[in-house]
Amino acid sequence: MNNNKLLATGIVGTVIAALCCFTPVLVILLGAVGLSAIIGYLDIVLLPALAIFIGITVYAVWRKSKAQTT
């Protein structure tokens, strides 16, 4: 996977996970379709996903800067 694709994946994943963590997007959607019972478990999935995508973004930026200096 090249650096630009990795960076794009990290940024898009971070934005989506952040929107679902900090705004009630999933709460409204899950409530609308009748799956509001799983709202209590969202933090178990979303916070680690946010951390992983932030890690991917940091790794891609580090890899891109390393490639530019070499």
Are the C-beta atoms of 70 and 27 separated by less than 8 Å? no
- Residue 70 and residue 56: Cα distance in Å, rounded? 21
Indicate the number of domains in the chain.
1
pTM score, whole prediction: 0.80
- Domain containing 48: what range? 3-69
User: Which residues does 39 contact at the CB level (< 8 Å), separation at least 6?
Assistant: 26, 27, 30, 31
pLDDT tens, per residue, the chain with 70 residues: 688 899 999 999 999 888 887 777 888 888 899 988 888 888 888 889 999 999 999 999 999 888 888 7
